[in-house]
Chain A
Amino acid sequence: QQQVKQSPQSLIVQKGGISIINCAYENTAFDYFPWYQQFPGKGPALLIAIRPDVSEKKEGRFTISFNKSAKQFSLHIMDSQPGDSATYFCAALGGQGFSFIFGKGTRLLVKP
């Protein structure tokens, strides 16, 4: 119940395309869902986050879509750029927890 399942494991997108990464969770007590971006040799950095009372949140080229009934949320990267090439992690926080539960990550490669 504490797991967050992330897919795909890796993703290759052409420059200008849309990158889509999906996550699913079981614990309905989770109430905060961030996405983190991690470059090699760096720690994860918060990209964008959403709460269950909102179905979509957009910040620049990054959009989170949230489906509470399906217990799923996804990250969309519009107009993907080579500089977006990184590993992306979804996470969840809430319930009795005070630490993030992370997905296993998606390695994104944006080809020029």
Chain B
Amino acid sequence: ETGVTQSPTHLIKTRGQQVTLRCSSQSGHNTVSWYQQALGQGPQFIFQYYREEENGRGNFPPRFSGLQFPNYSSELNVNALELDDSALYLCASSRDSRHFQETQYFGPGTRLLVL
């Protein structure tokens, strides 16, 4: 186990609703990245937070937003849910230098189903 925890493990929402997913990073890690993994696909980068600020963003619309807290835990918020948002959402934590960026530890993910 990596020490990265995510909650909830599963979630069912309806189209148009909003959802908040949570991630606790591994001890000593101050960088959190979020990924979306659609069924049968590789993870796709959503965004990254470093010391409570967004440090980079992938090709996702603004209705995907996030927060990082002083204890380096993080939230992913998705507004106006669409059916295509159904996926496994993964967070990964790492240290803050470029070297440690390479060693990202993934949590088990939250599986979101949008009906």
Contact = CB atoms under 8 A, between A and B. Distances in A.
Interface in B71-109: 90, 92, 98, 101-109
A32 B44 CA distance: 17
A100 B104 CA distance: 9
B48 to A, nearest CB: 6
B4 interface: yes
Contacts of B108: 41-43
B40 A105 contact: yes
B42 A104 contact: yes
B18 interface: no
Q: How large is the interface on A (under 10, 10 to 19, 20 to 34, 35 or more residues)?
A: 20 to 34
B41 A45 contact: no
Contacts of A91: 42
B42 A45 contact: no
Q: How large is the interface on B (under 10, 10 to 19, 20 to 34, 35 or more residues)?
A: 20 to 34
A41 to B, nearest CB: 7
Interface in A73-107: 89, 91, 93, 98-105
B33 A99 contact: yes
Contacts of A44: 43, 90, 106
Interface in B40-60: 40-45, 48, 55-56, 58
Contacts of A102: 42-44
B102 A34 contact: yes
B101 A93 contact: yes
B38 to A, nearest CB: 10
Interface of B: 2, 4, 33, 35, 40-45, 48, 55-56, 58, 90, 92, 98, 101-109
7 contacts: A43-B106, A49-B102, A89-B42, A98-B56, A99-B45, A102-B44, A104-B42
